[in-house]
Structure 1
Amino acid sequence: MLVLLESLAFYRNARVGLVAGAVLAALLYAVRALELLGPVIDTRDYPLFGPDVWFLLLAFVLAATFALLVAIALTVAEAVRGARGMSEESDE
């Protein structure tokens, strides 16, 4: 199993996904927290914490989800690339 993960460059893809997810979440949180698109109309009551904490938690979920999506996409692309390389070797 470890050989399969290494041949698909999964660990590199996971690191790239983590960076991409963190950057996306940080950018979106900055837009919300710094009100870059204008002030937020706050008409809701937020239980336990204020809206900034809830939005930070949402940014974490977005970062994790986007990181997983990027890692899966890169791993599938690597698998397709490897399969094409194997078929080219068998044709020769």
Structure 2
Amino acid sequence: MTDEVPGRPSSGGLVQALNVPRNAKLGVLSGVVLAVAVYLFRVLELFGPFAGTRQYPILGAEGWFLLLAFVLASSTALLVTALLTVVSAYRLSRELSR
């Protein structure tokens, strides 16, 4: 027996087959659009002032909501990318099983 490890095929083909770059672009776009919309509605008070508005001593309300918008954009981008990749994998598996 030899101690050599057999070469592994690159994963680039799988990434391309599952359309991961396209899914990531769509995920980031949807996350940014959602976060900007929510941020604008909250900060510009498009539905009127929110009850119980407080003063925030460190960053101010806009700073905290900007950080929350970033978290919302990131998590939405990850979720949309993962869902689109699962759909691509399902379609690829159905196509290969025929």
TM-score, structure 2 length as denominator? 0.84
How big is the shift at 1:46? 2.5
5 Å-filtered alignment, 1:7-86, equals 7-40=17-50, 41-43=52-54, 45-86=55-96
Q: Which runs of 4+ in 1 moved over 4 A?
A: none
Give the aligned residue type for 2:53: D
How big is the shift at 1:47? 4.2
TM-score, structure 1 length as denominator? 0.89
Consecutive unaligned residues of structure 2, counting only runs of 5 or more, are: 1-10
More helix as a share of residues: 1
For the pair shown, which has the larger CA radius of gyration, 1 or 2? 2
Q: Equivalents in 1 of 2:46, 2:81: separation in Å? A: 30
CA RMSD of aligned residues (A): 1.1
Give the aligned residue type for 1:16: L
**Identity score, percent:** 47
How many aligned positions are there? 87
Aligned to 2:3: none
Consecutive unaligned residues of structure 1, counting only runs of 5 or more, are: none
Q: Equivalents in 2 of 1:48, 1:2: separation in Å? A: 45
Q: Equivalents in 2 of 1:30, 1:79: separation in Å? A: 35
